[in-house]
Structure 1
């Protein structure tokens, strides 16, 4: 589990989805804005959201407020991870301490 303190206007990385690990987010302090394929939602402290694997679980977590917010994120963990960044047309691959960022192949 990781805890993030987000200053106003900051995000936890770009819009992305996981191919290998389901992620869960708990809003701890302040209102956090979550972008998903369907819409943007605001979570209040204590609210939870799940990001399933694959494109339907795409998300970006950000602070759209003028005060800091705090969130906790935890996930299933595999020996390797594959994350796709659809707007950047990149794929990240993690295997232990090794990390690769690749341009997504064109069809």
Structure 2
């Protein structure tokens, strides 16, 4: 399955939701799922008004690219806060320089974006604001194991 050409429509994919505390929440469609992942993944996210997508974090082994489809917000980066809007493209390199958290700053509109990234395993995810690390291990096509430990 990893070496096959894929064609499907976004409307055929179900939304999954995740939240943490009161300020982090997203809805995600995994367009390229674990069964098909080889060297990259592709997701569509929606962030509700006044929420962030994930805790502030960076990956040691993987890069991410966001394309803002609709809405606006801000992204926290190593170099400060950047305003983002529909049409913007963001690249987060592996390592500390790629630290990021995307926030929807609208009080009424959803922020929707495409998330593309590499899938190098194992990957360590650092969440500096939470003093936590995550380990993502395993092979594509299998469940990934997440374990968090306080720093």
Q: TM-score, normalised by structure 2?
A: 0.65
Higher relative contact order, structure no. (Cα contacts within 8 Å, ≥ 6 residues apart):
1
Q: Which secondary structure state, in structure 2, belongs to the residue aligned with residue 87 of structure 1?
A: helix
Q: Tell me how many residue pairs correspond in the alignment.
A: 104
The correspondence for 1:85, drawn from 104, 121, 127, is 127
For the 8 Å contact 2:52–2:103, the answer to whether it is kept is yes
- Please tell me whether the aligned partners of residues 61 and 121 of structure 2 are also in contact (alpha carbons under 8 angstroms): no
Partner of 2:5: none
Counterpart in the other structure of 1:3? 44
Any conservation in 1 of the 2:65–2:91 contact (CA below 8 Å)? yes
Structure 2 regions of 5+ residues with no counterpart? 1-41, 139-143
Which TM-score applies when normalising by structure 1? 0.90
Contact 2:69/2:113 (8 A) holds in 1: yes
- Structure-1 separation of matches of 2:54 and 2:71: 19
Instruction: Tell me how large the CA RMSD over aligned residues is.
Output: 1.1
Q: Over residues 63-86 of structure 1, what are the superposed CA-to-partner deviations in whole Å (9 max), with x where a residue is unaligned?
A: 011211101111111132210011
Which residue of structure 1 lines up, in the alignment, with residue 66 of structure 2? 25
Say whether residues 1:56 and 2:97 are aligned partners.
Answer: yes
Q: Which runs of 4+ in 1 moved over 6 A?
A: none
Distance 1:39 1:54 in 2: 16
Is the CA contact (8 Å cut-off) linking 2:73 and 2:85 kept in structure 1?
A: yes
Listed as ranges, the gaps of 5+ residues in structure 1 are: none
